[in-house]
């Protein structure tokens, strides 16, 4: 079993990484493989709604000049996801927002795989950002993994984040909870529990 943790900060080893690392450590203790993937600090373009991903059915974005398609490739092998973002103006970073809009619009490998969001902030805006990230899971039939508190750490530097003892404990609990859910899903599969039957999708654009 493998968990893909996506670091949506422009800083490769900053506060968001510190939080994700704490989650990954717990997963690894439970013999679950992890990979922390950095979206990078180069521009990531937003979705232009061209629909090329749907038309081709490739499961890829037509734009190949940033990290989105690399992430989509890695997602195929993952059994669960953790998305991490610093809080930028009480929202997720522009980088992770552009990344996830295209990742979810083009990709199809997430359905029924557990997901969790993790945020890092200096002071405020954590729950708004947490809520923003959780919305990707809840439109994708993904079980959301929670912890003992909303998944946030506080600090401007990794050293400050490590002093946020409650935040770090929240991350460890999240890792343990995700490991437990992954093992439960695996046991369920082995016992013959199949995925829920899906209805053909109805799409109404508030016309009538």
Contact residues: ligand FMN, CB under 6 A: 9, 11, 14-16, 86-90, 120-125, 155-156
Residue 71 phi, psi dihedral angles, 5° rounding: -60, -40
Q: Which is nearer to ligand FMN, 113 or 154 (CB)?
A: 154
Closest CB to ligand FMN among residues 127, 156: 156
Q: Which residue is nearest to ligand FMN (CB)?
A: 14
Q: Which residue has the tokens 């973002």?
A: 85
User: Which lies closer to ligand FMN via its Cβ, residue 146 or residue 156?
Assistant: 156
Helix (H, G, I), strand (E, B) or coil at 141: coil
CB of 130 to ligand FMN, least distance (A): 12
Give the residue ranges of DSSP H helices in the chain: 15-29, 52-56, 68-77, 94-106, 126-138, 158-163, 165-190
CB of 88 to ligand FMN, least distance (A): 4
Where does residue 51 fall: left (phi above 0), alpha (psi -120 to 50 degrees), or beta otherwise?
Answer: left
Nearest distance, CB of residue 38 and ligand FMN, angstroms: 10
d(CA 92, CA 90): 7
Residue 12 beta carbon to ligand FMN: minimum distance, rounded to whole angstroms: 9
Cβ distance to ligand FMN smaller for residue 55 or 123: 123
């Amino acid at each position: 079993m493998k968990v893909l943790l996506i670091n949506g900060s422009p800083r490769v080893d900053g506060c968001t990484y510190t939080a994700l690392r704490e989650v990954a450590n717990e997963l690894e203790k439970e013999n679950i493989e992890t990979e922390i993937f950095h979206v990078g600090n180069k521009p990531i373009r937003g979705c232009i709604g061209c629909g090329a991903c749907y038309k081709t059915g490739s499961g890829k974005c037509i734009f190949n000049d940033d990290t989105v398609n690399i992430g989509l490739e890695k997602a195929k092998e993952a059994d669960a996801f953790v998305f991490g973002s610093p809080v930028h103006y009480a929202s997720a970073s522009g980088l992770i927002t552009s990344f996830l809009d295209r990742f979810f619009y083009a990709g199809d490998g997430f359905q029924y795989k557990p997901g969790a969001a993790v945020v890092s902030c200096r002071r405020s805006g954590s729950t708004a950002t947490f809520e923003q990230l959780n919305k990707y899971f809840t439109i994708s039939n993904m079980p959301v993994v929670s912890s003992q508190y909303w998944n946030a750490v506080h600090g401007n530097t990794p050293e400050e984040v490590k002093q946020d003892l409650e935040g770090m404990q929240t991350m460890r609990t999240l890792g343990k909870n995700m490991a437990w859910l992954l093992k439960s899903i695996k046991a369920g599969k082995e016992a013959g529990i199949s995925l829920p039957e899906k209805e053909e999708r109805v799409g109404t654009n508030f016309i009538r």
